[in-house]
Amino acid sequence: MVEDNLRKIYGELPPGVKLVAVSKFHPSSMILSAYQAGQRCFGENRPQEFAAKAIELPDDIEWHFIGHLQTNKLKLVLPYASLVESVDSLHLLEAIEKWGSLNDRVTSILLELHLGAEETKGGFTEDEITAILERASGTSAANSYPHIRFCGLMGMATNTVDEARVEADFMRIREFKERLDGTFPELKDFRELSIGMSNDWKIAVRHGATIVRIGTAIFGPREYR
Ligand SMILES: *Cc1c(COP(=O)(O)O)cnc(C)c1O
């Protein structure tokens, strides 16, 4: 079943768009089914579960962290994460930089832009992201974040069946990304636009997604424990 779902998605995913198989709440055995079908990139959103799976599963898996990350949990996530997609506060960004300087490691991250209407959803405003990139780039005297690689933006559209609303969210984040590319051409790694989940990934691909994060459409519904 996992294999069929993956094959179906890859059949429609344009080349060059990365699929993150979101395996949160699913057992390692299901990750291995996807792995045996050729999938190598997985996403998790809880630090403890992320670390446990990263340690026990094959070394050539590329792990993306996609959840809220508290600064006291960095050591569970940063040693194993190829990409932290969900950096959503200055406090977290500073803590990742500090961890990197203490451990001599550069962490690849995406900055999460607050999209959509839901008050509870996290993420930065556009102005906050612009200010961070100013401190990370040649427009400032010194790079404040030498242990962070800024790889792009992540966003979650409004959770609605109203397709026009979802499209408006994706258009906003894409336009913002393009403006940043114009303002900070020296940030060569700032390439990714991670938008799109099970319900809206096809719309996201039409609006410039370079990464889609798909869970349910691959692994089925999650059983929350
Ligand atoms: C759970 C999750 C997904 C995947 O959601 P599905 O609807 O199951 O595809 C994608 N992105 C983030 C940030 C998530 O937490």
Please tell me the distance from the alpha carbon of residue 73 to that of residue 150, in angstroms, as a whole number: 21
| pLDDT under 70: residue ranges of the chain | 118-121, 138-141, 224-225
Question: What are the distances in angstroms from CA 172 to CA 88, 161, 200?
Answer: 18, 18, 15
In the chain, beta strands by DSSP E: 18-22, 41-44, 62-65, 81-87, 107-112, 148-154, 192-194, 211-214
* Cα of 21 from ligand 1 centre, angstroms: 9
> Between β-strands 18-22 and 211-214, what pairing exists: parallel, antiparallel or unpaired?
parallel
The atom number, within ligand 1, closest to the CA of 201 reads 9
**Which uninterrupted H or E stretch holds 116?**
none
* Cα of 117 from ligand 1 centre, angstroms: 17
Please tell me the distance from the alpha carbon of residue 139 to that of residue 133, in angstroms, as a whole number: 9
pLDDT reported for residue 212:
98
* Cα of 157 from ligand 1 centre, angstroms: 11
* Cα of 140 from ligand 1 centre, angstroms: 35
pLDDT reported for residue 84:
98
R_g (Cα) of the chain, nearest Å? 17
- Specify whether the backbone of 69 is left (phi greater than 0), alpha (psi in -120 to 50) or beta: beta
Phi, psi of 20 (to 5 degrees): -95, 115
Residues forming beta bridges with residue 115, ordered by sequence position: none
pLDDT reported for residue 69:
98
Q: What is the CB neighbour count within 10 angstroms for residue 142? A: 6
The atom number, within ligand 1, closest to the CA of 22 reads 4
The atom number, within ligand 1, closest to the CA of 20 reads 10
Ligand 1 binding pocket, CB closer than 6 Å: 22, 24, 45, 66-67, 156, 197-199, 213-217
The atom number, within ligand 1, closest to the CA of 154 reads 13
Task: Calculate ∠ Cα 215-217-218, nearest 5°.
Answer: 70
pTM of the model: 0.96
CB 81 within 8 A of CB 69: no
pLDDT reported for residue 225:
55
* Cα of 144 from ligand 1 centre, angstroms: 31
Amino acid sitting at position 1: M
Q: Whose CA is nearest to atom 14 of ligand 1?
A: 66
Question: What are the distances in angstroms from CA 17 to CA 114, 154, 157, 208, 212?
Answer: 22, 14, 18, 9, 7
* Cα of 68 from ligand 1 centre, angstroms: 12
Amino acid sitting at position 182: G
pLDDT reported for residue 123:
95
